[in-house]
Structure 1
Amino acid sequence: MHKNMNKLNGMDIETFVISSDSPEELRSLHNKLKKTFGSSLSFISDPQLKLIKKMGMKKNDVAYRGFAMLDKEGNTIFNTKNDHWGEEIEKTVEKIKEEYKKLK
């Protein structure tokens, strides 16, 4: 995703990676990505899976891989469970843009 962030240009959105990993693990990953790509998305540590559950992305004690969109009030607009969302980046971006247009 980091190398494809420009595909979301022109949209008034903030993008985050939400993970059940610890803050320390995410800080390490953030630093590695920043070194590789020159910048990194912000990470949110959600070890209790509270936000992940709110977004409908929780399965038992783990998070689904995929993506979701929240509105400014924190309501889930949509979610997509897809292990291959990054490999299918064009399809992913198309879905995000489609849902974003509905908010306008």
Structure 2
Amino acid sequence: MHQNLDTLEDLNLNVDTYIISKDTVEEQKILYDEIKRVFGESLPILADPELKVIDKMGMKNGDIAYRGYGMLDSDGNVIFQTKNDHWGEQFDQTLNEIEEEYQNFMSE
């Protein structure tokens, strides 16, 4: 498994990367700090307390969000989403799927 978030940048995708969370600011700070501790850096966290973006992405699970990842185009349309509690533990697989979905989108 890659232990560095720079790997996302190494994919050379023209994308911005964020964490979207319903969590409170205090909870987001804990998450940010833990990601930074494990990976040496973290990602910006966007607050979605009403789960609007999370719902649009098909990641809403009642009043919480599924864990996973996905991609929106510049118009806010969902390109893909994957529900996966273990995406971080399976980081190489996660990166492969992101790259494949991005390349499929770009070739359309």
TM over 0.5: yes
Instruction: For structure 1, list consecutive stretches of 5 or more residues without a partner in the other structure.
Output: none
5 Å-filtered alignment, 1:1-104, equals 3-8=3-8, 9=10, 10-31=12-33, 33-34=35-36, 37-104=39-106
User: What whole-Å deviation, never above 9, does each CA across 1:26-85 have from its counterpart, x for those lacking one?
Assistant: 134335544665532000111111110000000111100110100011111000001111
Distance in 2 of aligned mates of 1:87 and 1:28: 19
Q: Structure 2 CA distance, aligned partners of 1:57 and 1:102?
A: 21
- TM-score of the aligned structures, taking structure 2 as reference length: 0.82
The TM-score, its normalising length taken from structure 1, stands at 0.85
- Structure 2: state its 5+ residue gaps: none
Indicate how the Cα distance of structure 1 residues 85 and 39 shifts in structure 2: closer, same or farther if over 3 A, else same.
Answer: closer
Secondary structure in 2 aligned to 1:18?
A: strand
